[in-house]
Amino acid sequence: MGQAVICQNRRTKTAYMVEQTGLNLYSLEELAFFLYHNICLVDQGFFDERLCRWLEQELGCGDLAKRIRKGTASGGNLTNLVISVVGASDLYDSRELTELGEQMKAIGSMQEQERLKLRADELLDNGNDWAAMEEYRHILRMHQNLKLGVSFYGAVWNNLGVCFARQFLFERAKDCFEHALEYTPDEEIRKQAELAEKLMYGPAPLSGTIKNEDQPQRQLLSWEQEYRTRRRQ
- 115-146 tens-digit pLDDT: 999 999 999 988 888 999 999 999 999 998 88
Instruction: Render each residue's pLDDT in the chain as its tens digit; 233 residues.
Output: 444 444 456 788 899 999 888 889 999 999 999 999 999 889 889 999 999 999 999 999 999 999 999 999 988 789 999 999 999 998 999 999 999 999 999 998 899 999 999 999 999 988 888 999 999 999 999 998 889 999 999 999 999 999 998 888 999 999 999 999 999 998 989 988 988 888 887 654 444 444 555 566 676 666 666 655 544 43
Fold of the domain spanning 112-231: 1.25.40
Q: Biggest alpha carbon distance in the chain?
A: 66
Q: Contact at 8 Å (CB) between 224 and 163?
A: no
pLDDT in tens, 152-181: 999 999 999 999 988 889 999 999 999 999
**Structural domain spans, the chain:** 11-108, 112-231
Overall pTM > 0.95? no
Region of 144 (left: φ > 0; alpha: ψ -120 to 50; beta: rest) is beta
DSSP secondary structure letter of residue 187: H
Backbone angles phi, psi at 74, to 5 degrees: -90, 5
